[in-house]
Amino acid sequence: MEIYKIIAVGLVSAVIVVYLKSVNSELSMLAAIAAGVVILIMSVSYVVDFIAVLSGFTEKTNIDGAVFGIVLKIIAISYFVEFSASLIEDFGLKNISDKVVFAGKLLILSVSFPIVKNLIEVIGSLL
């Protein structure tokens, strides 16, 4: 299974980063970034599979393609924000990490506004 490879890369990278911290802290940061990028690249195939399944659902249920696009944007934003915030926090910059998470939440709110607007209109028409 692919997950075992990802876990192995993560564990080996963690050992390398911990060792490099004692030898050269600058190299340990570069190794941590490289490990994160490698793990992210290894995970891309799962995202492609998810998009295909979600696309199939939208075709079967006749959901508007715009809604599908918005949902994909929200999911992508949340994962990228979480990944980048974790990376920033690994550098010891928790305050910047918190601000990235806050900005991501605001971005998700603004992207999801058309869906919320349509939902309010539907509820209003029912009343």
Indicate whether 20 belongs to any domain.
no
Q: How many CB atoms lie within 10 A of CB 32?
A: 19
- CA-nearest of 15, 12, 19 to 38 is 12
What total of structural domains would you count in the chain? 1
- Report the range out of 16-20, 32-36, 99-103 with the highest average pLDDT: 99-103
Residue 100's pLDDT is what?
95
Indicate whether 110 belongs to any domain.
yes
Backbone angles phi, psi at 92, to 5 degrees: 85, 20
Condensed to tens digits (0 to 9), the pLDDT of residues 57-84 reads 877 877 777 788 888 899 889 989 998 8
Whole domain around residue 119: which residue ranges? 64-127
Instruction: Quote the CA–CA distance of 127 and 107 in Å, as a whole number.
Output: 31
Indicate whether 26 belongs to any domain.
no
pLDDT, average across residues 109-114: 91
Indicate whether 18 belongs to any domain.
no
Residue 98's pLDDT is what?
94
